[in-house]
Amino acid sequence: MLYYIFRWLDQFGISGSHLWGYISFRAILAMILALVVSAWFGERFIKYLKSKQITETQRDAAIDPFGVKKIGVPSMGGIIIIVALLIPVLLLGRLRNTYLLLMVGTTLWLGFLGGMDDFIKIFRHDKEGLKGKYKIVGQVTIGLIVGLVLWASPDVKANLNLEVANQNGQEVVVKHETKAEKTLKTTIPFVKSHNLDYSEIVGFLGKYKTAGGWILFVIMTIFVVTAVSNGANLNDGMDGMCAGNSAVIGVVLGILAYVSSHIQFAAYLNIMYIPGSEELVVFFMAFIGALIGFLWYNAYPAQVFMGDTGSLTIGGIIAVGAIIIHKELLLPILCGIFFVESLSVIVQVWYYKLGKRKGVKQRIFKRTPIHDNFRTQDSQLDPECKYLVKVPHGAVHESKITLRFIIVTILLAALTIITLKIR
């Protein structure tokens, strides 16, 4: 909104209005505004949640061995993140941008889905919340919508990166195709000069391989959105953990969106140039600011929990942002913590069921998701159950676990960026 006003004023030579044409100016302003809104609105919203008793009502005290009382802490704090994110985006972003509209739509959709889950938990006192099948349907639906829009929209194009040898053949120069076009290619980490082409995977379809490639792309979009949003949801189990990890991930996605929208930087990193993706920089800077402001209240000991309203939204934002800039194959590295959290639950359930069929009570970890394994004391374990992994033997304080997980995410974030140059 403000972008269009100041760009119009720039035509009349109004001092300072030209700054709104710079993506760096709008992005930094978006982060500052999101942080301020998150901090200011957060304090008032927390008081409102307490007054209406919209608080945590059920909590397994066994997983909190250090005696911090979680019951009674306001939940649904994800609304703080969503409000603080959308206000600067709507004020400072170019709202006619397809990519930005997809990000806003994803935020609202998954925010509503997570809000329904929190509503059922809090107001209906149902610990399970929204049934899993309905969550999956909601996640699959937004993934389908995003995939189909990226397939059908004429505005979604990219200039493919090409390696061209100079005249003496001794040096390779990366250039981009002069014309932007729709593409099914995506960046592969660690592999030099290669993009994965979804249509080549289904090359056996012959003349129908392009259509088959887009179908595969839509399926991949659904899978990525569902997997990352669930991973973020599982990671939201300790004060400040999901918000802290996601802020680091948001920094990397903001950087990748910026270099993808800058043809010289895209050539330097040998990645495709994506016109229009600069608006994602504004979005992710606002995302970072909103999360940092939320951490002011969510850091240990938390004054508010984000709930599924926040965690499902955060995961969806990360997934859709990566898909738009053709970097979804970097997510297993960048979101390594989310991946390990999900994997720990999957293998734990599989191993337990395997033992059950044999009449043996067994588990791999003391508890899952994996962060709970580190704060579980040996005295809390089932003496009739066999555990493959019993370390650490004592419980680690959750603030230390959170900080260590964030440090790991910082390392993975650095590795994600490095992969683009060590190819």
Dist CA 252 CA 167 (whole Å): 36
Contacts of 42 (CB under 8 A, 6+ apart): 77, 80, 84, 293, 294, 296, 297, 304
Residues in the chain, total: 423
Confidence of residue 170 (pLDDT cuts 50, 70, 90): low
308 appears as a binding residue in the annotation: yes
Q: What is the DSSP letter of 19?
A: G
Please say whether the beta carbons of 246 and 318 come within 8 A. Answer: yes
Q: Per residue in 96-126, pLDDT tens?
A: 999 999 999 999 999 999 999 999 988 887 8
Q: Which residues of 335-346 are buried (b: 16+ CB within 10 A; e: fewer)?
A: bbbbbbbbebbe
Strands 362-363 and 386-387: parallel
Contacts of 206 (CB under 8 A, 6+ apart): none
Q: Residue 154, preceding bond cis, omega within 30 degrees?
A: no
Please say whether the beta carbons of 121 and 129 come within 8 A. Answer: yes
Residue with tokens 């997980």: 405
Rg (CA), the chain: 23
pLDDT at 193: 63
Q: Per residue in 15-39, pLDDT tens?
A: 777 777 789 999 999 999 999 999 9
pLDDT at 91 over 70: yes
Q: Per residue in 246-287, pLDDT tens?
A: 999 999 999 999 999 999 998 888 889 999 999 999 999 999
Closest CA to 408 of 347, 342, 338, 344: 338
Q: Per residue in 337-386, pLDDT tens?
A: 999 999 999 999 999 999 999 899 999 999 999 999 999 988 889 999 99
Distances (CA, A) of 28 to 20, 84, 88, 282: 11, 14, 10, 8
Dist CA 27 CA 261 (whole Å): 14
Residue type at 277 in one-letter notation: S
Closest CA to 93 of 222, 159, 194, 4: 4
pLDDT at 58 over 70: no
Please give the residue that has the higher pLDDT: either 201 or 128.
201
Please say whether the beta carbons of 163 and 279 come within 8 A. Answer: no
Please say whether the beta carbons of 266 and 68 come within 8 A. Answer: no
Residue type at 311 in one-letter notation: S
Q: At what angle do helices 98-123 and 132-152 cross, to 10 degrees?
A: 170
pLDDT at 72: 80
Confidence of residue 229 (pLDDT cuts 50, 70, 90): very high
Confidence of residue 173 (pLDDT cuts 50, 70, 90): low
Helices (H), 166-278: 198-201, 209-235, 241-260, 263-269
Confidence of residue 195 (pLDDT cuts 50, 70, 90): confident
118 appears as a binding residue in the annotation: no
What's the whole-number mean pLDDT along residues 299-319? 95
Dist CA 81 CA 7 (whole Å): 28
pLDDT at 120: 92
